[in-house]
A and B are shown apart, each in its own frame.
Chain A
Amino acid sequence: MDTRDPTSIGDAQLVTACRGGDEKAWNVLVERFSRYVYAICAQGFRLSPADAEDAFQDVFAKVYVQLDRLRDPEALRPWIAQLTRRVCLDRLRTGDRELPVEDVEPDGFDDQLETLDQALAVREALSGIGEMCSEMLDRFFARDESYRTIGEALDLPPGTIASRISRCLDKLKSALEDSAPLTRPVGR
Chain B
Amino acid sequence: MTTYDHEQLAQLLAALPPAPMGLVAAAQELPRVRQSLDDLLVRAKEDAELRRLLVADLESALAESGIRPTPRILDEVRTRMRRL
Q: Which residue numbers of A lie inside 8 Å of B, CB to CB?
A: 21, 23, 26-27, 30-31, 34-39, 43, 53, 56-58, 60-61, 64, 115-116, 118-123, 137-138, 141-144, 166, 169, 172-173, 176-177, 179-181
Contact = CB atoms under 8 A, between A and B. Distances in A.
Given A64-B34, A181-B2, A30 B13 contact: no
Interface in B7-32: 9-10, 12-20, 23-24, 26-28, 30-32
Contacts of A53: 20, 23
A187 B1 CA distance: 19
Contacts of B10: 141, 169
A115 B72 contact: no
Contacts of B72: 57-58, 61
A173 B9 contact: yes
B15 A116 contact: yes
Contacts of A60: 27, 30
Interface residue SS majority, chain B: helix
Residues of B in contact with A, size category:
20 to 34
Nearest to A35: B16
Contacts, number: 99
A64 B30 contact: yes
B83 interface: no
A26 B1 CA distance: 31
Most buried by A among B14, B15, B18, B28: B15
23 contacts: A23-B31, A26-B30, A26-B31, A30-B24, A31-B28, A34-B18, A35-B17, A56-B23, A57-B23, A61-B30, A64-B34, A116-B16, A119-B13, A122-B12, A123-B13, A142-B13, A142-B17, A166-B6, A173-B4, A173-B6, A179-B2, A180-B2, A181-B2
Contacts of B79: none
A27 B34 contact: no
B27 A57 contact: yes
A173 to B, nearest CB: 6
Nearest to A166: B6
Given A38-B23, A57-B27, A176-B4, A119 B15 contact: yes
